[in-house]
């Protein structure tokens, strides 16, 4: 890395950023500096907060400075009709065609990833349709499923891809058009197993825990009786069975062909798995020679342990096959986490692009006075550009693959992310600006190619202009009955509507007070505040009379759940979703943010998958949402099929 050719800005001066934020009258004071760092930000009370100078300096040091020729070799992301501003250049298209460009890109210029030759050398040219794929007249409802929690009598202690297939078939048979699932991304194959789906080792490959493994009837009976999920026990049992099947397998040309098509990426992930088993799940603690994925030491191990590497590649092949079967002809919307484990596989492969001296999170707000750290190292904006956006492209592409849908967790992170310097509290962080126009164009291109709808999880603090920009790109918004002050009938049509999320109370838990008690046991929050929050949420279930209002007994949990979904069904949103937790009357939410003593991400559903079809409440909720999507809805703005 060379030194920065620019004069270093004073620590208190704001300068323009290559990636511009949505501009508002108040945003002049909030312009990012030359590193993309905002030294001021607006809190939930619209007060300007100054970032500590020490935090700014720490983030600058962690991020580094770009090489002097970055702007001459960084990728160009453009749309048809755009002038590249380079004069006459030759473009080698990815399909082998060669074109000359002098001025605006032609209306028939192919979308994709090309290479152009400019006077300063070769550069990647990414041509995007600019808008995500979204069928013009499609409207659907579906279930939101935490796959790990949806156990059956055959799934050996944890919900798996065969269980997902059962749920998909059950809901599709009642008219559902999609299923929204938690991230299925892989974690380290070591112990203890990472429980959170939102801190994976990779965003490109899947977790073998979700495989349905034959010949495990005895283990299935034993492991499926636990009141919380024991991932370690499940992985030990499945690993042993899978290793035996791997040894006994016959040569399969389909596997060999699939492996070749991965162009080495799955082999590198598999090598990380092998090294993690020998040296631990954090590559930053490995012997120094093994920290370089392209180094001689790693290459030597890959040769010496070729069969072990092939085993982990084979697991990914099995996962792809089972996932395709689980999805069938239904849209399966897969969740994309905001980041990865700093010691994981993606961080090992792309360590020059990630910043391990910082983590991403959220600033203090009305819900969390201390702020939050989510544990993932951020991608450095300039390093991401220098890498041709490849880490981002591969993560988006892999998560869309096979399902036809993606939900981008904390989609505001494509615009700016809250960075927390190593060793400091979340309150001492700062927002860092990203090249959002380029990233959104890449999402649109991958969506177009995969025929994948895109939902952006835009909950929490959303800076002005972001939702409008997402709507212009046909990225669906995400609206919750618990949060929205407007009536559901007034929600935007270009959105997914839901009652709650995995981080919020279930309807049953909220109604009977069990979630309140759960919070009191694990989160140091005054009871009065929790009770006020509960009352506020219950008030949103307008139309659900209480005993005090009617002189009769309070409605049952089932009546409240159905009432909430009837309210949801009033919205014109293109997608309506119900969580599986709500339709089975689950009282405990999957995850309670800010807790360290609770069994987050490890609570099974109280009803086994094979019995779901017998639940009257599930039938009633499905019928309610199915009737809603077949009612005429207002035409949604921004919807188009760019195919």
Q: How would you write 179-219 as a 3-class SS string?
A: EEECCCECCCCCCCCCCCCCCCCCCCCECHHHCCCCCCHHH
Q: Are the C-beta atoms of 429 and 55 separated by less than 8 Å?
A: yes
Q: Are the C-beta atoms of 617 and 562 separated by less than 8 Å?
A: yes
DSSP-derived pairing of the beta strands 112-118 and 121-127 = antiparallel
**Among the ranges given (439-448, 572-581, 627-636), the one the predictor scored with the smallest mean pLDDT:** 627-636
Round to whole Å and give the CA distance between 477 and 320.
29
Give the confidence band of 485 by pLDDT, cuts at 50, 70, 90: confident
Beta strands in 241-370 (DSSP E): 331-336, 358-362
User: In the predicted model, is pLDDT for residue 553 greater than 70?
Assistant: no
Round to whole Å and give the CA distance between 2 and 65.
8
Residue of higher predicted confidence among 556 and 244: 244
DSSP string, 87-102: EEEEEE-TTS-EEEEE
DSSP string, 231-252: HHHHHHHHHHHHHHHHHHPPP-
Q: Specify the 3-state DSSP secondary structure of 446.
A: helix
Q: Mean pLDDT over all residues of the chain?
A: 90
Sheet of 98-104, strand order? 76-78, 121-127, 112-118, 83-92, 98-104
**Secondary structure, 3-state, 521-570:** HHCCCCHHHHHHHHHHHHHCCCCCCCHHHHCCCCCCHHHHHHHHHHHHCC
Round to whole Å and give the CA distance between 265 and 391.
12
**Among the ranges given (286-290, 343-347, 522-526), the one the predictor scored with the smallest mean pLDDT:** 522-526
Taking phi over 0 as left and psi of -120 to 50 as alpha, with beta for the rest, 130 belongs to left
Q: How many CB atoms lie within 10 A of CB 279?
A: 15
Q: Are the C-beta atoms of 243 and 436 separated by less than 8 Å?
A: no
Round to whole Å and give the CA distance between 86 and 65.
25
What share of the chain has pLDDT > 90, as a percent?
A: 78
pLDDT of res. 240: 97
107-141 pLDDT, tens digit per residue, is: 999 999 999 998 888 999 999 999 999 998 899 99
Sign of CA dihedral 138, 450, 382, 281: positive
pLDDT of res. 12: 31
Q: Specify the 3-state DSSP secondary structure of 510.
A: helix
pLDDT of res. 554: 75
Round to whole Å and give the CA distance between 169 and 165.
6
pTM over 0.75: yes
Give the confidence band of 424 by pLDDT, cuts at 50, 70, 90: very high
Q: How many CB atoms lie within 10 A of CB 620?
A: 17
pLDDT of res. 640: 32
Nearest to 573 by CA among 486, 476, 431: 476
Nearest to 269 by CA among 336, 196, 189: 189
Round to whole Å and give the CA distance between 232 and 288.
29
Give the confidence band of 524 by pLDDT, cuts at 50, 70, 90: confident
Q: Are the C-beta atoms of 116 and 123 separated by less than 8 Å?
A: yes
| Averaged pLDDT for residues 250-273 | 97
Nearest to 158 by CA among 241, 239, 228: 228
Q: Which residues of 102-131 are buried (b: 16+ CB within 10 A; e: fewer)?
A: eeebeeebebebbebebeeeebbbbbbbbb
Give the confidence band of 616 by pLDDT, cuts at 50, 70, 90: very high
Give the confidence band of 9 by pLDDT, cuts at 50, 70, 90: very low
Beta strands in 423-519 (DSSP E): 430-433, 453-456, 477-480, 495-498
pLDDT of res. 548: 44
Residue 349 C-alpha from the chain's centroid:
20
pLDDT of res. 120: 81
pLDDT of res. 17: 36
Round to whole Å and give the CA distance between 22 and 620.
43
Give the confidence band of 367 by pLDDT, cuts at 50, 70, 90: low
């Amino acid at each position: 890395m060379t030194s920065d050719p620019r004069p270093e800005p004073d620590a208190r001066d704001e300068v323009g950023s290559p990636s511009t934020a949505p501009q508002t009258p108040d945003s002049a004071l909030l312009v990012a500096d030359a590193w993309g760092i905002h030294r001021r930000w607006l809190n939930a009370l619209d007060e300007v907060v100054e970032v500590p100078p020490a935090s700014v300096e720490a983030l600058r040091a962690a991020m580094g400075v770009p090489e002097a020729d970055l702007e001459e070799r960084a990728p160009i992301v453009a749309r048809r009709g755009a002038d590249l501003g380079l004069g006459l250049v030759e473009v080698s298209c990815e399909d082998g065609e060669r074109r000359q460009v002098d001025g605006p890109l032609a209306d028939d210029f192919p979308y994709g990833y090309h290479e152009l030759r400019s006077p300063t050398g070769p550069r990647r040219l990414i041509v995007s349709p600019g808008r995500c794929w979204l069928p013009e007249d499609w409207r659907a409802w579906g279930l939101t499923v935490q796959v790990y929690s949806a156990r059956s009598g055959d799934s050996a202690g944890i919900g798996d891809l065969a269980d997902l297939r059962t749920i998909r078939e059950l809901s599709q048979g009642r008219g559902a058009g999609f299923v929204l699932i938690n991230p299925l991304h892989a974690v380290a194959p070591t112990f203890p197993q990472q429980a959170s789906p939102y801190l994976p080792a990779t965003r490109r490959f899947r977790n073998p825990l979700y495989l349905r493994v034959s010949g495990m009837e005895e283990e299935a009976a034993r492991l499926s009786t636990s009141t919380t999920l024991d991932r370690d026990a499940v992985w030990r049992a499945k690993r042993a069975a899978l290793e035996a099947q791997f040894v006994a397998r016959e040569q399969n040309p389909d596997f060999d062909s699939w492996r070749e098509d991965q162009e080495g990426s799955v082999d590198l992930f598999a090598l990380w798995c092998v090294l993690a088993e020998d040296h631990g799940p954090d590559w930053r603690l490995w012997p120094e020679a093994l920290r370089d994925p392209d180094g001689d030491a790693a290459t030597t191990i890959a040769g010496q342990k070729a069969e072990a590497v092939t085993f982990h590649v084979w697991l990914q092949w099995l996962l792809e096959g089972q996932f395709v079967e689980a999805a069938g002809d239904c849209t399966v919307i897969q969740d994309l986490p905001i980041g990865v484990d700093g010691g994981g596989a993606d961080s090992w492969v792309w360590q020059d692009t990630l910043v391990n001296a910082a983590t991403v999170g959220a600033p203090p707000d009305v819900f969390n006075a201390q702020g939050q750290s989510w544990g993932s190292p951020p991608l450095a904006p300039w390093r991401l550009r220098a890498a041709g956006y490849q880490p981002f492209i591969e993560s988006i592409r892999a998560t869309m693959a096979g399902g036809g849908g993606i939900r981008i967790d904390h989609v505001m992170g494509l615009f700016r992310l809250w960075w927390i310097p190593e060793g400091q509290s979340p309150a001492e962080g700062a927002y860092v600006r990203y090249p959002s126009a380029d990233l959104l164009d890449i999402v649109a291109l991958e969506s177009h190619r995969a025929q994948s709808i895109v939902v952006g999880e835009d909950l929490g603090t959303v800076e002005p202009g972001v939702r409008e920009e997402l709507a212009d790109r046909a990225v669906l918004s995400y609206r919750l009955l618990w949060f929205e002050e407007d009536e559901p009938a007034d929600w935007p049509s270009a959105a997914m509507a839901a009652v709650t999320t995995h981080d919020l109370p279930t309807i049953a838990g909220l109604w009977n007070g069990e979630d309140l008690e759960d919070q009191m046991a694990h989160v140091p929050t005054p009871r009065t505040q929790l009770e006020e929050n509960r009352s506020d949420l219950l008030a949103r279930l307008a139309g659900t009379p209480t005993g005090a209002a009617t002189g009769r007994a309070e409605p049952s949990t089932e009546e409240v759940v159905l009432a909430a979904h009837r309210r949801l069904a009033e919205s014109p949103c293109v997608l309506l979703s119900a969580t599986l937790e709500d339709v089975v009357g689950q009282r405990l939410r999957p995850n309670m943010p800010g807790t360290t003593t609770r069994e987050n991400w490890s609570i099974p559903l109280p009803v086994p998958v094979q019995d779901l079809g017998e639940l009257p409440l599930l039938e009633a909720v499905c019928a309610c949402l199915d009737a809603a999507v077949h009612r005429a809805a207002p035409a949604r703005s921004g919807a188009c099929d760019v195919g």
